[in-house]
Structure 1
Amino acid sequence: MIPKTFVASLLAGLMLVATAARADEIPVAVAANFTAPFNKIAAEFEKETGHKVIASFGSTGKFYAQIRNGAPFEVLLAADDETPAKLVKEGAGVSGSPFSYAIGKLVLWSAKPGVVDDKGAVLKGGAFERIAIADPKLAPYGAAGVEVMKKLGVYDALTPKVVTGETIAQVYQFVASGNAQLGFVALSQVLKDGKVEGSAWIVPADLYTTIRQDVVLLTPGKDKAGPVALLKYLQGAKAQAVIKAYGYAPAK
């Protein structure tokens, strides 16, 4: 007689094989500011669904160019809402799929305590050698930083001190390494256990255009279960709790 435990193990194994056969590998392009929360979300998503996420992180502008040139991404988590809409209009994204997964928050940050005050007055004082921003042509957070400086009337004076990173992740490295004394980054990048490391000014939302971050299902993933499941998971309570914990405002 075959032991019941053996049968149970065999059935469980067969179920795992069946699940693996149905599982997708999902190439996902993710805006650099969303690296940490996405890694956490993806890990839980993989555990719950069996699908495998293959994530690439970078600037939204560069991902747009790559997708238009045939890069086989199946999902794009952008740092804006314009790029997903444009991809849908151009036939590279699935109509009706985009939605906002987070509202980004911009901060002026220094790795050192006491450098950035809580009103951003350091920008007008100008007592620093370099300020880093992401390329405003490619990165929405970089464009937001330029917008803030212009609204405060300091852009022209600070232009000679600006160093530009290809992505907001590179901007973070410039500031963390001390190559730039301060820079505009996403709150999610500098928030650790609910507190900001170094010194920072959380920029008031009325000083820059709302950074509404949208996700879009791309045409290579439209008939696959994995990409669709990932979009659904992003809307769920578990993913949204992670997003909130990393300093993003809930999407409305």
Structure 2
Amino acid sequence: MERRHLFIGTIFCCAVIFLFGASALFAGNLMIAAGAGYKKPVTEVMKAFEKDTGIKTDAAFGNIQMVASQAKQTGEISCIIGDQKLLDALGSTVKFTDYRLIGKGILVLAYRKGVVLEKPEDIASDKVKSLFMPQDKKAIYGTAGTEALESYGYTTKLAGKITQVATVPQVVSYLLTGEADAGFINLTEAMANKDRLGGYLIVPQDKYKEIRIVAGIVKGFENKPETGKFIDYLQTKNAKDIFAKYGLK
């Protein structure tokens, strides 16, 4: 099990690198990166931004450690969208000149079709034999999931059920294939896949630390006109409506 998940994580890293290799063909495009769990709304906002401004954009998605590493290596990423705590923790890997709030992240417990959960505490029942979550410390909702488990007093009790993978979309994939009975993901991904999941439960916000989803302006890009226009665009009604549609407000 562990070897397979490491292999999948390696493939995902390669996919992120491939995106950057391909982006070199579009020198001059505005480069944006974001946590993988926000791919759908960020992609939609970027398309709207391109349509409204004519400025071409490229993007990469992964856990924050992945995209931060790529930002450092390529020097091309002007903005990273993710949890402010994780961006702050990057230290010297990537430095930011400012943050713009997009919305508050919501942790949910999603479950596959064929499983019915009535409350988050049901993960400790026989209904759930496998619980998947993103990597703690590297992915926003891995950290939040770990905090929730600690709050419920389930860290040790459920250790044998838990499998960590690289990103939120990977957790969703395992839920959709039926390999995972339940998993911690964000509300954004849960809403985007609601017809394919068995359902989801919002985890009470007092069970984990506040998640502030922000756009971090990478140092060196703060005076770039395209970067400024994108950051300003995030505050427009159009962008806010897109994010709200995916549970970010």
Please give the TM-score of this superposition, normalised by the length of structure 1. 0.80
Whose radius of gyration is greater, 1 or 2?
Answer: 1
Alpha-carbon contact 2:32-2:60 (below 8 Å) kept: yes
Other-structure match for 1:74: 78
Give how far 1:201 is off: 1.1
Instruction: Write the distance in 2 (CA, Å) between the matches of 1:184 and 1:218.
Output: 29
Give the secondary structure class of the aligned counterpart of 2:120. Answer: coil
Other-structure match for 1:7: none
Deviations 1:100-149 (A, max 9, x none): 212111110013165222x2131221432211000012001111111111
Deviations 1:135-169 (A, max 9, x none): 01200111111111111111212111111111111
Give how far 1:77 is off: 0.7
Cα gap change, 1:146/1:85 in structure 2, threshold over 3 Å: closer, same or farther? Answer: closer
Deviations 1:182-239 (A, max 9, x none): 1001111121599894221110111100111121121353342212111111111111
Other-structure match for 1:3: none
User: For structure 1, which runs of at least 5 residues remain unmatched after alignment?
Assistant: 1-22
Worse overlay, 44-53 or 63-72: 63-72
RMSD: 2.3
Instruction: Please point out which of 52, 58, 73 is paired with 1:54.
Output: 58
Instruction: Write the distance in 1 (CA, Å) between the matches of 2:218 and 2:45.
Output: 20
What is the total number of aligned residue pairs between the two structures?
A: 223
Other-structure match for 1:109: 110
Give how far 1:72 is off: 2.0
Q: How does 1:1-252 map to 2 (within 5 A)?
A: 24-78=28-82, 80-86=83-89, 90=92, 92-95=94-97, 97-112=98-113, 114-117=115-118, 119-192=119-192, 197-248=197-248, 250=249
Give the secondary structure class of the aligned counterpart of 1:163. Answer: strand
Instruction: Write the distance in 2 (CA, Å) between the matches of 1:230 and 1:113.
Output: 42
Other-structure match for 1:15: none
Instruction: Write the distance in 1 (CA, Å) between the matches of 2:197 and 2:127.
Output: 21
Give the secondary structure class of the aligned counterpart of 2:77. Answer: coil
Among all aligned residue pairs of Structure 1 and Structure 2, give the percentage whose two residues are the same amino acid: 25
Cα gap change, 1:184/1:83 in structure 2, threshold over 3 Å: closer, same or farther? Answer: closer
Worse overlay, 65-74 or 51-60: 65-74
Please give the TM-score of this superposition, normalised by the length of structure 2. 0.81
Cα gap change, 1:217/1:179 in structure 2, threshold over 3 Å: closer, same or farther? Answer: same
Instruction: Write the distance in 2 (CA, Å) between the matches of 1:194 and 1:83.
Output: 27
User: For structure 2, which runs of at least 5 residues remain unmatched after alignment?
Assistant: 1-26
Alpha-carbon contact 2:132-2:164 (below 8 Å) kept: yes
User: What letter is aligned with 1:28?
Assistant: I
Other-structure match for 2:4: none
Instruction: Write the distance in 1 (CA, Å) between the matches of 2:166 and 2:96.
Output: 28
